[in-house]
Amino acid sequence: MNIATARHAQRETHKTSTHRPCIIRVLQTLTLLFFSIAALTSASTQAQTSSSTPQANASLIPEPAGTSTDLFVMIGSDFDRPGLLPRANYNIGIGHTFGFLKRDPIGDELTFGYTYENAGSHGFLHTQLGEHTESAGVMKNFPLPATKVVTGYTWMQAGITSYTGKTRVQNRLDSGVSIGAIVHFNNNNSIWLQESYSKVVTVPWYTTSSIGYTYSW
């Protein structure tokens, strides 16, 4: 029995259950997060306006780094290791870039996301067994040499994964790191290409290849 099969076998040992209303809870959380970020952005803009200096001295003061909000939707496939068993992976989330974190080596964008993964032994799109993950993360955006159309990023996330479809919901700590590239079409629209390494406590590690669309403002 390989490790990927053991991962599935471990999920199958738990008694069968009702599906919790994960999506409703996540949508409520994303809504609260969105309005919180909007309030922070508004307060930051007002503070910058009230503390502006005369035009004569403006050239002597460096411009503050800009901020942005990203709403992203990503689709991809998990690959259980050491095998290559494909599993659906869908992710939706929101992130906000803070200007004062631009020089932070860890990250300049705080994110919150919800991920659905197929946890069954067969099928790609959906089975009765599911993994539902709510995670918070920090992303570091950086430029790439000789191009402004494509930028790179690293992304660290941690959260709680819940296995559903059984009698008892199983909650496990989930953590992951990602590296990716962003193809910018304009200031508002971009495509993300991403490769991730993830580990859920008590089950084998896996990688995820994803592509997604992001709207920024």
Q: In this structure, is residue 141 part of a structural domain?
A: yes
Residue in the structure block whose two tokens are 């084998």? 204
Q: Is the dihedral of CA 124, 78, 137, 99 positive or negative?
A: negative
For residue 3, the SS3 value is helix
Q: In this structure, is residue 56 part of a structural domain?
A: no
Q: In this structure, is residue 176 part of a structural domain?
A: yes
117 contacts 130 by C-beta, under 8 angstroms: yes
Q: What is the pLDDT of residues 25-64, one digit of tens each?
A: 555 665 665 556 555 555 555 555 555 444 444 443 333 4
Q: What is the pLDDT of residues 11-26, one digit of tens each?
A: 444 433 444 455 555 5
Domain range for 121: 3-42+67-184+191-216
Supply the pTM of this predicted model. Answer: 0.68
User: CATH code at 107?
Assistant: 2.40.160.20
Q: In this structure, is residue 88 part of a structural domain?
A: yes
| Rounded distance between C-alpha atoms, residue 67 and residue 99, angstroms | 5
Domain count of the chain? 1
pLDDT < 70 positions in the chain: 1-66, 80-84, 121-123
Q: In this structure, is residue 53 part of a structural domain?
A: no
Q: How many C-beta neighbours within 10 Å does residue 101 have? A: 16
